Amino acid sequence: MSDQSEPLGTIGVVGAGAMGAGIAQSALTAGLEVILHDSSAAALAKARGEIHSRIARLAEKGQITTAAAAAAEGRLKLAERLQELAPAQIVIEAIIEQLEPKQRLFTALEDIVPAGTVLATNTSSLPVAAIARPCRHRERVCGLHFFNPVPLMRLVEVIRAADTSEATMRRVLELAERLGKTAVRVKDVPGFLVNLLGRAYLTEALHIQQEGVASAATIDRIMREAAGFRMGPFELMDLTGIDVNFPATRVVYEGFQHDPRLKTTALHESLFLAGQLGRKTGRGFHDYGDGKAASAASDGGDPGEAPVTGAPVTVWIAEEARELGWVSERGLRLVAAGEAEVMLVSPAPGEDAATAAARLRLDPARVVAADWVGLERSFLTLMAPVGGDGAARKLGAALRGTGLSVAVIGDSPGFVAARILAMIVNLACEAAQLGIGTPEDIDVAMRLAQNYPRGPFEWGEWLGAQRIHDMLRRIQEVTGSDRYRPSLWLRRRALLSLPLRTPQ
């Protein structure tokens, strides 16, 4: 009988695919015995070869000794029969992402493993409670969601379903620590934590594109160069595969009762239905030709990059733009009194250029709005009201001459980077409000699993809770969409001038 008070020594892994093999490798190099099961002997043989090869490379790089590598390889046992998992203290399921096969597996395991053995699912989207529902002892079932590639990714989500016991949680947290992973406790909700919060980065970019504000390439460029993300949202969707991110988005949207903040766009679904799935098919939001990254994905593809010839542009700077400080800091010396070709303004948070021009009673044909979010990276985004894009492009060309990187977009409430970041922060605040994760765990999870340059709450403190709250309220007013309603967590802290991490 497996006793949860005993030190961990043996785990079982069901499924010899990429995830199962990765989990097995991590456990082997952590000194655990691993029983790897798959119904396919060929899959088991392939997994063993890949595991041994990767462990050997660790020894070649000096990350482990040759003796440690040989010992790790010797701790792997292949099992073609499910009954061979009986000695395992924890069994981790990593099979096909479908509910019924997982339910059948767990009910079969209950007749094989001792009462104290923990049954963990590596599901990324299915409710853990649904998987556990047919089980007799649901208290020992939990989620243990690893990220691919498992040996390299430090984060693991530990999901507690309605019936999961605290003893079960302690046992899997012990395993996570043994594997050298950073574990975050998460509620059993659609998408858990990382896949839920990752929707904001992707779906807001999709909505900005759908509005005709900017191309996928320009949005990608802004998020890389202005906000410091490793990949733009459309590059990321093409890399993971639209056959992966569209269904995941739909599951999360439906699971949260069609909350508009989680809604995707018609183009996203259209590419999925057309089989244009990204890099794997050679075409998605970008065209990859022979498998190489499209030039548009890397060069911005922004018509505003075209040089503008003629006399230097003269600029009138609205006082509120001057007060931001970035004008003088960036060496802009293109200011003239009297008649000016361009009127440079800084919209209120969440305002579009049309609204700013009307509020300031300026000629919309000569108004250009500037976004400060990319300032620390010497990046500016410019936009103009309808009919004013010529002024924006001319100013953009002049600013590039001062050494700035510039993107010119169509009119948008909240520009691009600030708008996407506000949605990231807002969804993170909603997750904290619902108790899905703590602000600290949310920041850690998104930095480790999604390579965010800042965690959502770190972004929130950097941008300012009041500014984000005002931005979302104005975007909601401009668009009429409940997609932009501020989270109660955000609203209360903004109203009281409290840090966003202030607990309930």
Q: How far is CA 335 from CA 12, 26, 111, 338, in A?
A: 70, 61, 80, 10
- What lies within 8 Å, CB to CB, of 152 at 6+ separation is none
How would DSSP label each residue in 447-499?
HHHH--SS-HHHHHHHH-HHHHHHHHHHHHHHH--GGGPPPHHHHHHHHTT--
Of the candidates 2, 26, 122, 124, the residue annotated as catalytic is 124
Do 266 and 314 touch, CB atoms closer than 8 A?
A: no
> Do the strands 367-371 and 342-345 form a parallel or antiparallel pair, or are they unpaired?
parallel
Supply 310's token pair: 């003629």
Residue 195 annotated to the active site = yes
Of the candidates 26, 93, 125, 157, the residue annotated as catalytic is 157
Residue 124 annotated to the active site = yes
Long-range interactions of 262-265: CB distance < 8 A, separation 24+: 262/199, 262/203, 262/427, 263/203, 263/483, 264/202, 264/203, 264/206, 265/203, 265/206, 265/207, 265/209, 265/210
Q: How far is CA 315 from CA 345, 376, 394, 410, in A?
A: 10, 23, 11, 20
* Coil vs helix vs strand at 363: coil
Of the candidates 37, 145, 207, 268, the residue annotated as catalytic is 145
From CA 24, how far away is CA 55, in angstroms rounded?
Answer: 11
Residue 245 annotated to the active site = no
Question: For residue 427, which of 348, 504, 484 has the smallest C-alpha distance?
Answer: 484
Task: Count CB neighbours of 57 within 10 A.
Answer: 11
- Active-site residue set: 124, 145, 157, 195
